[in-house]
Structure 1
Amino acid sequence: MSLLIDVGFDPHIIALAMDSNLRPEKPKQELDHEEEGIVEISPNGRYLRYNEILGSGAFKVVYKGFDKVYATEIAWNQMLIDDDLFQSSLTIDKLLSEAVLVKSLKHENITKCYDSWVDDENKTVNMITELFTSGSLRQYRKKHKGVDMKAIRNWARQTL
């Protein structure tokens, strides 16, 4: 079994690079009221977000989404930034730098990041990643209680 790592958001990462393409200049596309279940569209119009929550953590909520170009489901990771943090360009720059770093990672056991941007209007940072429906490692362990220690060691070795 391979271990899959979701690198998620870490607001304390050291800024590595700043990609100006992450702050889209064009306005959001209007939602077509006939498309049921769609609550948000990415600035480039490629990704759709549904109101179905797949998971949440301390910093983000993960929604089910759809990639119109490849006709595949995706995970739309959204982090709400409070007013004080949003006004700090250093904080936003660090988050965007992390997105640049995550997009550059290429490994079969690391969740792929396809796109990211800051939504100034809604004060969110968004990342589009591949979707995994099998759940987290914790959920897997709870479901399969008799996992051999050798397998657990193998998973741990893959994360290092």
Structure 2
Amino acid sequence: MPSVGPDPTDKDAEPFVEMDPTGRFGRYNDLLGAGAVKKVYRGFDQEEGIEVAWNQVRLRCFVENPTMLERLYAEVWTSGADDRTLNFITEVCTSGTLRDYRHRHRHVSLKALKKWARQILVGLDYLHTHDPCIIHRDLNCSNIFINGNVGQVKIGDLGLAAIVGKNHVANSILGTPEFMAPELYEGVYTEQVDIYSFGMCVLEMVTLEIPYSELDSVAMIYRNVRRGTPPAAMAKVRDPAVRDFIKRCIGAPRSRPPPRSSSGTLSFMASMMTTTAAAAMAPFLLPLSGTAAGLPSPQDRMACCALRH
């Protein structure tokens, strides 16, 4: 369907600096954020009349790491390439990252924090029970996005995710040091590293402090993580149930709760999510595409466009 463009003489109209090959999506010169492997700009879907995220990755990244393309396609609606970059369109979360949103809104109830945490757990459960299993490996509050007007939280930025076999074991070292589980530094780990990172995300959501922000270097963070020394921010968590839940998440791998934990495990966990509730809720991830081998089809991901609370 052809779009109704702005009057060329209208000086107030915001121009697109780039269009996708179909002419449906346009990119504005408005950088929303930059990560380890990509830059994200504000874009617009002329057919649906909605804002989108226009993602750019340098093609040389795929030469250095060919598996990156499969991981990135976990978020893609459509894509195209030029001589230097791969461009792909994804959903845009209107309120940005959970980290930025939490700092903009400093007075948030424990009820709201639990609601966000529950949605993150449902997203992790989807990744971890997918065949093949997907380990995010870089879960932190800057890779979790929110639509603030409805309190809808989604996991994104799967550029460092690992797609693993039946043994669920991965063996490369990468991630954000403050959120990396100790076994991740060893180079042999399972999806339980995402539960550790999730615990650190809950800690940041509650205290507004990035874990281990009191330390001056990655080496010091590494030493404390290996020793099992918790972040100083733990002392600021007043609710005993929340504190115990975080401790369990960042404890030894076998003691960490799975995303679909029993409602009788901890009072905090029980109020966030039960097995029945988890099964009834749609996965809280940015929409997936069936373009890459091993990833779900668009039909399997349809529920992402109409999430239930």
How many residue pairs get aligned? The number is: 110
Given candidates 126, 129, 145, the residue that maps to 2:106 is 145
Residues 120 and 87 of structure 1: CA distance in aligned 2, closer, same or farther (over 3 Å): farther
Structure with the largest fraction of strand = 1
1:135 alignment partner in structure 2: 96
- Contact map agreement 1:53 1:64 (CA 8 A) in 2: yes
RMSD: 2.5
> What secondary structure is seen at the aligned counterpart in 2 of 1:116?
strand
Partner of 2:32: 54
Q: Is the aligned partner of 1:101 residue 2:74?
A: yes
Identity over aligned pairs, percent: 45
Deviation at 1:132, TM superposition (A): 2.6
The 2-side partners of 1:86 and 1:101 are apart by: 15
Aligned to 2:77, what secondary structure does the other structure show?
Answer: strand
Structure 2, gaps ≥5 residues long: 1-7, 122-309
Alignment partners' CA distance in 1, 2:36 and 2:73: 21
Summarize the alignment of residues 3-152 of structure 1 with structure 2, pairs less than 5 Å apart. Answer: 37-82=15-60, 85-88=61-64, 91-92=65-66, 94-102=67-75, 113-117=76-80, 119-122=81-84, 124-152=85-113
How many Å apart are 1:45 and its aligned residue? Answer: 2.3
Greater relative contact order (CA < 8 Å, ≥ 6 in sequence): 1
Displacement after TM superposition at 1:138 (Å): 0.9
Query: Where in structure 1 are there 5+ consecutive unaligned residues?
Result: 1-33, 103-112
Deviations 1:87-125 (A, max 9, x none): 35xx34x233234433xxxxxxxxxx42123x2402x22
Note the C-alpha offset of 1:63: 0.9
What is the TM-score with the length of structure 1 in the denominator? Answer: 0.56
- Contact (CA 8 Å) 1:50, 1:64: kept in 2 or not? yes
User: Is the Cα contact below 8 Å between 2:62 and 2:68 reproduced in 1?
Assistant: no
SS at match of 1:133: coil
**CA shift for structure 1 position 36:** 6.3
Instruction: State the 1:128 CA deviation.
Output: 0.7
Q: Does 1:155 align with 2:149?
A: no
Give the Cα separation in 2 of the matches to 1:68 and 1:150. 37
Partners of 2:86 and 2:68 lie apart in 1 by 8
Task: Give the superposition deviation at 1:86.
Answer: 4.1
Bigger Rg, which one: 2
SS in 2 for 1:38: coil
Distance 1:147 1:36, change over 3 A: closer
Change (3 A) 1:58 1:101: closer
- TM-score by length of structure 2 reads 0.32
